[in-house]
């Protein structure tokens, strides 16, 4: 899904209404995100193999400079590449949060920038 923040917000409001999001439980938040990210379809099978299954989401949203615990989980994950590919497919620049695929938001920005420079260089040749 290629979505702007405005489109995601419209979809969130459509799923859970315009208010009450701050009072939602973790279970409700997961259901909403699943519906938004996968258009109501099943969660991709690779997610069941992720090393983070069952871990508290807070592990992946650490304070700045304290991402090592989350990165350690990702380092040993069999589906790390799929996870990173998935998040880069829908995440917008400047709106990156948390450790995903073993990379912090800053590291993902650098990866996308480097890929863009590489693609631009290849097109110019």
Same domain, 37 and 60: no
Selected residue with higher pLDDT from 37 and 79: 79
State residue 125's pLDDT score.
Answer: 44
CB-CB contact of 35 with 15 (8 Å): yes
Give the count of domains, the chain: 2
Q: Whole domain around residue 80: which residue ranges?
A: 45-125
Q: Does residue 112 sit in the same domain as residue 51?
A: yes
Domain co-membership, 122 together with 109: yes
pTM: 0.61
Cα distance between residue 15 and residue 125, in whole Å: 47
pLDDT at residue 121, as a whole number: 64
pLDDT tens-place string over residues 35-67: 556 555 667 788 889 999 988 888 998 888 899
Backbone torsion region of residue 123, taken as left when φ is above 0, otherwise alpha when ψ lies between -120 and 50, otherwise beta = alpha
Chain centre distance of CA 88:
7
Among 67, 50, 49, CA closest to 58: 67
Distance CA 73, CA 9 (A): 30
30 and 88 belong to one structural domain: no
Mark whether 91 and 113 lie in a shared domain.
Answer: yes
d(C-alpha 56, C-alpha 60), whole Å: 8
């Amino acid at each position: 899904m290629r979505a702007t923040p405005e489109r995601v917000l419209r979809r969130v409001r459509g799923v859970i209404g315009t208010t009450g999001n701050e009072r939602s439980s973790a279970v409700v938040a997961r259901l909403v995100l699943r519906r938004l990210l996968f258009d109501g379809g099943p969660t991709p099978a690779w997610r069941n193999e992720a090393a983070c299954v069952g871990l508290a989401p807070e592990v992946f949203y650490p304070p700045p400079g304290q991402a090592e615990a989350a990165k350690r989980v990702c380092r040993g994950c069999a589906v790390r590449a799929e996870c990173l590919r998935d998040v880069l497919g829908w995440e917008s620049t400047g709106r990156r949060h948390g450790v995903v695929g073993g990379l912090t938001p800053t590291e993902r920005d650098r990866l996308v920038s480097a890929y863009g420079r590489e693609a631009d260089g290849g097109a110019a040749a």
